[in-house]
Structure 1
Amino acid sequence: MRPVLVFVISTLLLVIQETCGLNTVRGVNPKQMRLYENKEGFFHCLNSSQKVPYSSLNDDFCDCDDGTDEPGTAACDGSTFYCENIGFVPMNIPSSQVNDGICDCCDGSDEWLGYVECPNRCVQIGKRRLEQILDEVKTVKKGLNKREELKNLSSLRAAALHNKMKFLQVSIQEAEVLERKTKKEFDWLEHVLKVIQARELAMNVSTGNFSSNSSVADIITDRESSNDTESMNSLQIEEHEMTPNYEKNSDEIDRCSWQTDCILETCQNVSKAYTSSHILLRLQKLFFDFLSKFPVLSKFLAGSQREIDTEILQLCINNLQEQLENLRSGLERNRTELERIQQYFSVDYGPESVFLALRDTCLEVTSQGYHYKLCLLSQVFQDSINLGKFSRWDSNHTKMIFMDGTPCWNGPARSTIVNLICGVNETILKVSEPAKCQYQFWVTTCAVCSVDEMKKLRDEASLILSNFNFTKEQKSATVPKHDEL
């Protein structure tokens, strides 16, 4: 029954069109109306060489293989219906939605059979959309200004990171040199102490005296004046076995050789550089320098001198060991920090590196009973569950893609897509889980605001305004001017 009714109505409309000289065909964009001209009683199908009787247009039967003869009915799959939508934005809808009982065009033109009543809502929708566009334009303007600030912050941060990286590289090089020098001094002084202890042991064994001690000076003097060749050879063997295998590159160490004053002076300098014990060492040296002017008293306190010499060496070695540990600890911290900064420059921060200033900025929101934490260009969490680590951008730098999160039970590893929308501040608008273990965030940020977006909004507003089909008086009374656009 319905096809017959449609055919009758369509035929009547075509007759009226031809009689009244109207040049319109239902469902066709006015700009394409010339393609639907009556050419000697025929319509030429748009995408094929077919031609059909002009009366076949919109007769609810698909005569052309491409369906172009039925722009105003639902007869042909894949064809479209043009909604003029005067007062809003013209649009094309699938022809299958024509006369389906749902008002798809805001002017109601798609339900022309009248199965449902579709009031023309285009003017109201257009006015509402214009107000929305106005708000969006204001947001984009503010966002663009904020983006400039963010870009400047990113530049400053990049410069600061580069400077810090250079500083760390120089500091590490200097600390490595000092660490090698300190290690050589440590090895040398430790060797001196071991030789003293070995010499004392050898002398005590040969004399049967296990209670005496030898000072640095005693060791050197005995080594230079000893006539006991066998004992000396034995000592040299012991010294050789106890000597660490290292090169004396330090001029100071080479110059000192086995001079006791130089050894103690080196020890004092080491202590002065690294600890407060240099005061004690200097007082001791001054004291024994003073005693050396009184031979009897000096001889009486020789044992104490020898003990103090050994104690000074041991204290010096301890000081150097502490300094080595501090140097190595500082080197490790600086190397870790340098590696962290270098990783910053391995990430794509978008156009003009504007996202650098937002690196590691964390946003939080509670949704549907879960607490979400999003750290931009880093990681995403749902409570304590990792929803992914930053992996890459989409081609337009408007989506952050996070991968390799905590695996789901009997499912894939969690992943997240963060959709970025122009806004003044960084805010999470919405969180969803459209598929198992796949999450989506919608986040506002000024970093994606662009002049192109502003142009699109203004073009849309211009299209709506140009589609108001009123007289000048009606326009001035009904349509807001919106000079801000």
Structure 2
Amino acid sequence: MFRRGLVVMSCVLRLGRGFWGSKPAVPPKGMACDEGWTVVREAWINDDFCDCKDGSDEAATAACAGVGGSSFLCENVGHEARRIPTSRVRDGVCDCCDGSDEEGCANECDAEAKKARERKEREARERKAGLEKRAAYVARFAAEIQDRAARRETAQREKTEAEAEIRALEPIVEHHDREEAERRDEATAAATAFYEDGLAEAFSAAQPHEIRAAAVRLAAAASDIETLLDVVTRSAGLDDKITDAIDDVEVLSLGVDAADALNEGNVEKFDELCAAIAAALSLDAVPADAAKRVATETARRASAIRHEIGGLAKRLVDLNPPDPDDDDEFATEEATKARDDLKNAEAKLETSRRALEALEDEDQDFGPDNAFGVLKDKCFKTRAAKYDYELCLFDKASQDHTSIGRFEKWADDYATMHYNHGTYCGGIGSRELTVHLQCGDDDLLLDVSEAQTCKYVATFKTPAACRP
């Protein structure tokens, strides 16, 4: 700097834009810089001293490193020319393959050019193979699309047919329902009248003590002593002194023992226990009408007594009260067929609807020419940084057992896939994955990294990403 300062006026001229009104003349074999307002003579170009504010006089040295956007041109004859920052000139590292940025660097451009050619040839072969596989992917999925269209047509036709069948069958079934309801009502009324007449006749021929005994036997046989106990203590109209003296626990225990004895076929013990129940309930004081209510209600559930005990109890059980819920008794063969046909049509409709819904779920954007369609739901794995990663195309992605997202959308003209809404990450939000797609001759999950906390980046190579 000291040397240059002594002679600066004779060697380097820097003039303001308003000074003398024009730019200085460039000396022979010298140069102008700083938009022409500075001129440098030949001897001071690339002399390891920065004369120009834009650093252009030291393109072959590092003297102007960090000044403006100065750069050094690596001509790299035989390979590819490139520019490097002047700060990397004479820094001891060979950046130019021709060695021009450093003293003592060998010219490696021929070797670099050979590597570049081999790499391009390899990429070209891989791209060619990838395009061939992509064409196969497109053709295969086109067949799937045709199959899906055929299945959609079939499902839609079956849905239409089922709806028509249902419209035709519903009024027929409703007509049969009305007819059966009328027959059921008539039969129930007749059976009820017959049953009530049978009850009246049975009770009219029995003495009060027989009715009370039948009530105990039927309640015990039906394992329903609770009904008998409730009638006696609540609605039989007995004096409070009688009901207060009844031991509920004792009565219920005797009832359980009596039912067990009957189930074991020990009729003698059953009779003894029934007598004990009658005594514990002061049954002799219970009006016959109250005993009738118990006998009538429990007779429906006391079928076990039919083969063990005769008398009034058996007669009441044998009466068989009408069952209004027995629809089969009133259904005709024609009505049964109509209902079966309607049920089948409804099942057919539901099946066709589910099929159409499933086909709608399959309608998705699979990229240009649907090339990615054959990869739907296919999963690929790799291990990176001690974790096992799995990527399922158009579905989900995971790191070991942790979700790092579900497929959400395409980006960058089908060059990127975004997976969002993975497992929540404290202080960050849900995990997410960005998948960069590369053309290749095979489907491979190359790598996965956590670029930011809970933000993952993956590279997936596939023939589907090859562009024609």
Distance 2:93 2:428 in 1: 40
Q: Is the CA contact (8 Å cut-off) linking 2:53 and 2:68 kept in structure 1?
A: no
Structure 1 residues 364-400: Cα deviation after superposition (integer angstroms, max 9, x where no partner): 2334443322121222122332211222222232221
Find the residue that maps to 1:69 and give its secondary structure.
Answer: helix
Name stretches of at least 5 consecutive residues in structure 2 with no aligned partner.
Answer: 5-24, 199-325
**1:432 to 2:449 alignment:** yes
Q: Is the CA contact (8 Å cut-off) linking 1:50 and 1:64 kept in structure 2?
A: no
Deviation at 1:148, TM superposition (A): 1.4
**1:360 to 2:377 alignment:** yes
Structure 1 residues 228-271: Cα deviation after superposition (integer angstroms, max 9, x where no partner): xxxxxxxxxxxxxxxxxxxxxxxxxxxxxxxxxxxxxxxxxxxx
Q: Is the CA contact (8 Å cut-off) linking 1:158 and 1:356 kept in structure 2?
A: no
**1:97 to 2:88 alignment:** yes
Deviation at 1:198, TM superposition (A): 1.0
Distance 2:341 2:394 in 1: 39
**1:108 to 2:126 alignment:** no
Distance 1:327 1:61 in 2: 95
Distance 2:175 2:71 in 1: 92
Alignment of 1:375-454 (within 5 A): 375-451=392-468
Find the residue that maps to 2:460 and give its secondary structure.
Answer: strand
Deviation at 1:184, TM superposition (A): 3.6
Q: Residue 169 of structure 1 corresponds to which residue in structure 2?
A: 156
Distance 1:362 1:60 in 2: 59
Distance 1:405 1:315 in 2: 58
Q: Is the CA contact (8 Å cut-off) linking 2:396 and 2:407 kept in structure 1?
A: yes
Q: Residue 31 of structure 2 corresponds to which residue in structure 1?
A: 43
Deviation at 1:81, TM superposition (A): 1.3
Q: Is the CA contact (8 Å cut-off) linking 2:404 and 2:419 kept in structure 1?
A: yes
Distance 2:27 2:367 in 1: 56
**1:145 to 2:111 alignment:** no
Structure 1 residues 283-334: Cα deviation after superposition (integer angstroms, max 9, x where no partner): xxxxxxxxxxxxxxxxxxxxxxxxx995361777676666655544543443
- Give the AA of the match of 1:417: T
- Count of aligned positions: 318
- Give the AA of the match of 1:80: S
Q: Is the CA contact (8 Å cut-off) linking 2:71 and 2:85 kept in structure 1?
A: yes
Assess, with a 3 A threshold, how the Cα gap between structure 1 residues 41 and 91 changes in structure 2: closer, same or farther.
closer
Distance 1:350 1:448 in 2: 9
Q: Residue 353 of structure 2 corresponds to which residue in structure 1?
A: 335
Q: Residue 165 of structure 2 corresponds to which residue in structure 1?
A: 178
- Give the AA of the match of 2:354: T
Deviation at 1:438, TM superposition (A): 1.5
Q: Residue 234 of structure 2 corresponds to which residue in structure 1?
A: none
Q: Residue 198 of structure 1 corresponds to which residue in structure 2?
A: 185
Assess, with a 3 A threshold, how the Cα gap between structure 1 residues 40 and 390 changes in structure 2: closer, same or farther.
same
Alignment of 1:43-122 (within 5 A): 43-45=31-33, 48-55=35-42, 56-74=44-62, 75=64, 76-111=67-102, 114=103, 117-122=104-109
- Give the AA of the match of 1:109: S
Moved more, 142-151 or 117-126: 117-126
Q: Residue 271 of structure 2 corresponds to which residue in structure 1?
A: none
Distance 1:65 1:100 in 2: 21
Find the residue that maps to 1:397 and give its secondary structure.
Answer: coil
**1:126 to 2:113 alignment:** yes
Deviation at 1:209, TM superposition (A): 7.3
Q: Is the CA contact (8 Å cut-off) linking 1:86 and 1:122 kept in structure 2?
A: yes
Distance 2:159 2:175 in 1: 24
Distance 2:435 2:414 in 1: 11
Paired-residue identity, % = 31
Q: Is the CA contact (8 Å cut-off) linking 2:27 and 2:40 kept in structure 1?
A: no
Q: Is the CA contact (8 Å cut-off) linking 1:41 and 1:53 kept in structure 2?
A: no
Structure 1 residues 99-153: Cα deviation after superposition (integer angstroms, max 9, x where no partner): 2222211222122xx4xx4222222222222222222221111111111111212
- Give the AA of the match of 2:91: D
Q: Is the CA contact (8 Å cut-off) linking 1:77 and 1:95 kept in structure 2?
A: no
Structure 1 residues 173-228: Cα deviation after superposition (integer angstroms, max 9, x where no partner): 222232344444333323322211112234456788779xxxxxxxxxxxxxxxxx
Q: Is the CA contact (8 Å cut-off) linking 1:204 and 1:210 kept in structure 2?
A: no
Alignment of 1:128-277 (within 5 A): 128-203=115-190
Assess, with a 3 A threshold, how the Cα gap between structure 1 residues 202 and 360 changes in structure 2: closer, same or farther.
same
Q: Is the CA contact (8 Å cut-off) linking 2:130 and 2:441 kept in structure 1?
A: yes
Q: Is the CA contact (8 Å cut-off) linking 1:389 and 1:404 kept in structure 2?
A: yes
Q: Is the CA contact (8 Å cut-off) linking 1:83 and 1:105 kept in structure 2?
A: yes
Moved more, 147-156 or 319-328: 319-328
Q: Is the CA contact (8 Å cut-off) linking 2:445 and 2:460 kept in structure 1?
A: yes
Find the residue that maps to 1:313 and give its secondary structure.
Answer: coil
Name stretches of at least 5 consecutive residues in structure 1 with no aligned partner.
Answer: 8-36, 212-307, 452-485
Assess, with a 3 A threshold, how the Cα gap between structure 1 residues 391 and 41 changes in structure 2: closer, same or farther.
same
User: Normalization by structure 2: what TM-score?
Assistant: 0.59
